[in-house]
Amino acid sequence: MRIGVPKETAEGERRVATVPDVVGKLVKLGFGVAVESGAGDAANFADDTYREAGADVLPTAAELWATSDIVFKVRPPSPAEVGLMREGGTLIGFVWPAQNPELMQQLAAKRATVLAIDSLPRQLSRAQKMDALTSMAGVSGYRAVIEAANAFGRFFNGQVTAAGKIPPAKVFIAGAGVAGLAAIGTAANLGAIVRANDTRAEVADQVVSLGGEFVKVDYEEEGSGGGGYAKVMSEGFQAAQRAMYAQQAKECDIIITTALIPGKPAPRLITAEMVRSMKPGSVIVDMAAEQGGNCELTVPGEAVVRHGVTIVGYTDLASRLAKQSSTLYSNNLLRLTEELCKTKDGVIDVNMDDDAIRGLTVIRQGEVTWPPPPLKLPAPPPKPAAAAAVPAKKGHGHGAGEPMSAKALATVFGLGAIAFALVGLYAPASFLAHFVVFVLACFVGYMVIWNVTPSLHTPLMSVTNAISSIIAIGALVQIAPPLDGAGADRPSGLILGLAVFALALTAINMFGGFAVTRRMLAMFRK
């Protein structure tokens, strides 16, 4: 079968569905590949690079559509492109079946088989390699910060110079999905103070791990929806959320909104009044502009200035990094093709018993199969039953997790003092000296470990492990000749052998411990 890659006709679209590096892999799967001349020019992939990879470069779109069994696209096809499509052909790309019912009917009339990459069931872990929505969202989140930096009048990071002090920019990101997390990491790396919010409480740790601060709405409600998206929240939650957004709008210099709910218009999060309250020169990047926008004053496809605030509503953020986006997208389609052609004979098999393929297939041989049936996901493991609390008996110790009483603490210290007194009275003087050093070492070691950040415990333990190799001194004492030269005091050959062996192991432990510590500490440095 032949895979065709036409030039995208949507206005401003610079991506291409397949890059030269992927062409060779498709050929190894047994497919022929044809690319329309100029399809990769906007993404910096020349026709010659496709020819070198093994693809045929065809001069016109009509010839490519007519001779291709499978067509890879980025944007949904236009009515003119549907007219060029061969009867019974296969289309793979973004289709958005819920938003394009007329396109679905046109493709069904062609008896086509259509796999909409945007309909991939993202709940399946093995579908991640084919998840083009995630790939494009990551690129868009990065680009949103770059657009914000371009429109903003100051540095992101704070600086102290001879000419004056520059405060760091404050960035608020509404929505911590894939795009939002990418934006958080990028803004934090540029030195900004980053805050973020999401209706899904479980993403708070991810926000913090990327260098941001999670801003919680003062209202308890779970916001997780299906397929990695958020759900529509209650009116009470939305009111509390609007109050929080109004406060952030007054404090922050840049707002990036990413909130989308599948099959619905983008929720309005930033009102005109909030825009009016922002400082002059502030920036809003509305990543949901294509679905109507999260900001009330967004103009899709344009950057406008309202009340002194620049509102960026570009709908082609991923396309503005065309080479990177095209590479990621083509890899997603390659992984999908591998699932469709497991026999590597150049023939695809649309297996409707495969949950991932079934979710992708919106039309099969002219029959509309969208929406797919609900996925049969395995039931989550039952939560372990809470252990019954054991009531503490009065006068006998303390309950689990409760602080020790003053009486119990005094008893422990009293017994300890008696034990130390007995050791001091009856133990030999040489033992007592070593015992005092041992106790002090335990106390100092405990205090050192206790006051270290938990995240550094592992590298700390590795370096203390290396330092503990002071036992090497004992081995050296055994190996070294006696000071008086008397041979009678030399240890036996067995003892010498054990000492040499212990010294070798200790050397490995010592140098290895410091090496591991250095590698671990490097992980904490940016």
144 pLDDT more than 60: yes
Query: CA angle, 193 as apex, 206 and 301 as ends, to 5°?
Result: 85
**Amino acid 346: pLDDT:** 96
What is the pLDDT, as a whole number, of residue 375? 84
The owner of tokens 């052909």 is 89
pLDDT of residue 399: 45
Both tokens of 489, joined, read 């005091």
Which of 226-230, 258-262, 451-455 is predicted least confidently? 226-230
The confidence score (pLDDT) of residue 297 equals: 97
493-523 helix and 472-479 helix, angle to the nearest 10 degrees:
150
Dist CA 118 CA 179 (whole Å): 15
Share of the chain above pLDDT 70, in %: 83
pLDDT tens, residue by residue, 152-170: 999 999 998 888 899 999 9
Residue 3 bridge partners (DSSP): 33, 70
Quote the CA–CA distance of 7 and 44 in Å, as a whole number: 13
Residue 26 reports pLDDT greater than 70: yes
Q: What is the pLDDT of residues 39-52, one digit of tens each?
A: 999 999 999 999 99
Q: Which two tokens stand for residue 391?
A: 């009531």
Instruction: Indicate the SS3 state at residue 298.
Output: coil
355-401, pLDDT tens digit by residue?
999 999 999 999 999 999 988 766 666 655 554 444 444 444 444 44
- Within 10 angstroms of residue 510's Cβ, the number of other Cβ atoms is 18
Going by pLDDT thresholds of 50, 70 and 90, the confidence category of residue 224 is low
Asked if 491 contacts 499 with a C-beta cutoff of 8 angstroms, the reply is: yes
